[in-house]
A and B are shown apart, each in its own frame.
Chain A
Amino acid sequence: MDVANDETLVEQACDDLSRRSLSRIDGDLGRLIYLASTRDYNTGRYHHDGLAARFGEEITCQALKTMHRQIFYQIAQNSLEQLVMEMERYASSSSQSREEILDVWQKLEPYRVALPVDVNVAVAQLFVSNVKLALAILRRRLELEAREAPRS
């Protein structure tokens, strides 16, 4: 097994993934959710048919795992204000209404499943905590908008 060659292939697969799939998704939060959705709940392995056809299962799994970690650390480093903007961006790019998304996210907390495995525990908790706060802030904004609406 040529480790250096594998690393190069993983890099190429990451690049391919960024250009073809991730660039089409609006915002890092959307990208994080997308990458988490390519992971099998039972095995923890990542799958992507298109990428696997070019690079093979193992390299694809490594590339998806690498990108998942990278995007996670990127978004976890955001300030709370930036995360609120990311959440808004994510909600407005979805076909569901903002209210619906907020309801589901606050009740089911799907963002917990979006955490990559083996990331630093404190960073993971900071991210979860900030998403919770961002949701509360957006909920308040919606309530304020609803109160303002009848007046205008």
Chain B
Amino acid sequence: MSNVTDERVKRASVFTKVLSMPEVGAFLGAIAIFILFTNRDTTGNFAGLGGLAGWSDIASTIGMVGIAVSLLMIAGEFDLSSGVMVGSVGLLIGLLVTKLNMNIWLAIVIGMAFAGGIGFLNGWLVIKTKLPSFIVTLATFFVLKGANLAYTMMVTGAVRVTGVDAAPGYQSAFNLFALPIQVGKFQIQMSVFWWIGFTIVGTWVLTRTKFGNWIYASGGDANAARNAGVPVARTKISLFVTTALTAGFVGVIDVLRLQGMQAGQGIGNEFFYIIAAAVGGTLLTGGAGSAIGASIGAVIMGMAYIGIPYSQWDSNWTSTFLGLILFTAVLVNTYIGRKARGGKR
């Protein structure tokens, strides 16, 4: 009676188990790229604290939103408006404090509320219209992109907002969100610590909470999830809101650090977030992925951005390099994932 399974359930070896983890491909990739740039480095700093300070800075802002985007993608949805949202929130805060003399803390609250509202709208539209989120958020992207430029021009007469540092409350907000921490000769950005926190929270939510289970279920098979009593619509809308809020948070960090904002800030970043998630092992069709994978994906991108100039390569080729990494990483992830799961996906 009870021996029916013996022929089909082989004991999975530790090796297979490790390989079937979604982030392992990204992890091996990060090590390979680290070794590559350490060897090619002409400054002697890449493998040290100087390099770390550089790449962790870039990785942190990509990683934070990358994690949120990864969760959203695991649930089977896209958000192409996540990049422009960084700019929208930064600009909104900048305009509120420079034109209305608002306290920066109040402006941050309003900026985040705006992001949350747009995120909710994205999610609600996707659920109600049943249109692909790719289209809905692409529309949001263009609406916001236009609005960022037009409204900034209209109010300031220029394509940027400046002088945010004069706002009441600026110093305390700066200290919390954007203060660089001196380590030896180098500065580690505050955003790096926020990013580490986001990675821990994202991993916790995904693997150890009900909500995390619902994320996997919603993306794995929305119908089966609904039949089992999972609130799929609520899960997805929450993730659209989270993604927009995270992008808004990066907008807050940017506007504090730069003491102003360009109208075009953040545009194009949506692809960095998706690359980080995909390199980190998140399945584009949903149902699988991890938060830590997206963070490792962000590390790879940070290393490329720092490593290329350190190696005295022409940094105009950075995007080309990232494109190749994306393709290779997803190919390898898919291949070892398939191997580890015994031919089935």
Please say whether chains A and B are actual partners in one complex. no
